[in-house]
Structure 1
Amino acid sequence: MVAIRDVHNPWRDRFQRARFRSAIFYVDTDVRGGGRRTALHEYPKRNTPYAEDMGRAANKFVVQGFLITRDGTYLQLKDELIEALEQDGPGMLRLPLPYMMRDVEVMVQQYSITESRERGGMCMLDMTFVEYGSPVYRATVSTSGEIGKSASNVESNVIGQQQPTAETSDQAAPYAKVYDSANTPNNVPNLP
């Protein structure tokens, strides 16, 4: 009789428990997708197209998994995962064997949790995430206060300059007329 030895798989040493934010789950399959954004130019009467590289596309993660426990904490784990998936803003996603073994900051695009009578104490998960990326272009948040502040700055620059130059006077003239007519009591319409 031949003795069966445990075959060592190096990937098993790196296998980790999946989680989103602080909620754990188990993974059947996970798919990472990416690529390049391209603008394809095809010209009339030409046989050669031109594909313009518009930068890297956001990575997407499609995860199919499940939740199940032996100790009766299934409902608690399910509730924690739903809360994590429905929170505002980005969160950290850890997959069992991610690219370069790094967690990635993602936004939830959609999810579904399937439970059935035959499989009590267990649910199937389908989750889709998209890479959050770097929000460097979001220098300020456009709140109503920020918008009002910007509008006030523009207004004071257009009509409230103490020493207007010939160039700024020409540029501001149409706006000043609109401002004056809007603030003249005779031009305010009577509302019912």
Structure 2
Amino acid sequence: MSLQNRIINHFTNSIQAQQDTMTSLGELIEFASQRLVATLLNDKKIITCGNGRSAAVAQLLSSAMLNQYERDRPSLPAIALTTDTTTITAIANDYHFDDIFAKQLRALGQSGDILVAYTDGNNSANIAKAISAAHDKDITVIALTGNNGGMIAPLLHEIDIEIRVPSDSSIHIQEVHALITHCLCDLIDHQLFGG
């Protein structure tokens, strides 16, 4: 296969994953945005987590809340549990890597907050423990997953939301997670600030 054909295939597959997600999950993304807005209107915060490239997407949401998405507006409360390397490495060293998000969440999370957890592989033990810790603190979960939902889907409660990208490609799942995150940011701004 030529290099140009590889490029065409990558774009085509990515577009297809995005199209499939838009068609099947548009209403769920809207509902998730409404849940995030309700959390913020109740003076609670958004907490995010993810591993590897999913950590970058989790930080994208937190950054857009704390700073801005596309327009100047007041900062919104959000914390990315992926950013404090001293804390993450201390927890991993003293306890276990599986505890890096749950331990932070138990200290920083409050009833009524919302956890947005990103996973493309769906079998991340540290995400699973974060979801359990969230439930222990009466924190609702929005899980952005893919493929078949892996070990994450069965952990979710009825009140939680799973946005499962209909793809088995980690790369395309992550690309769609970033696009969903942009949609959520836009919908939050629109609902809170109009325009």
| Structure with greater proportional helix content | 2
Higher gyration radius (CA): 1
- Higher RCO (C-alpha under 8 Å, 6+ residues apart): 2
TM-score under structure 2 normalisation? 0.19
